[in-house]
Structure 1
Amino acid sequence: MSLSPLCNQFLIRCQTIAHKTKDPEHPFRIR
């Protein structure tokens, strides 16, 4: 998966937030 730096950081950020909140219903949760 080759994404632009902006999208990449956005996804990583969402993943980090989902992991920190541990919210199973997080819309940006990435497995």
Structure 2
Amino acid sequence: LHIPFISVPLAASHDGIASPVASLDVLGKP
């Protein structure tokens, strides 16, 4: 699944709990 970089944090923001997790995962895996 190729999700745009912007789409990931936006989707995570909707969850709130997954936001920090998703952000770390995206930043940790360039």
Provide the TM-score with structure 1 as the length reference: 0.44
RCO comparison, higher one (Cα < 8 Å, 6+): 1
* TM-score between the two structures when normalised by the length of structure 2: 0.45
Q: Larger Cα Rg: Structure 1 or Structure 2?
A: 1
Answer 1 or 2: which has greater helix percent.
2
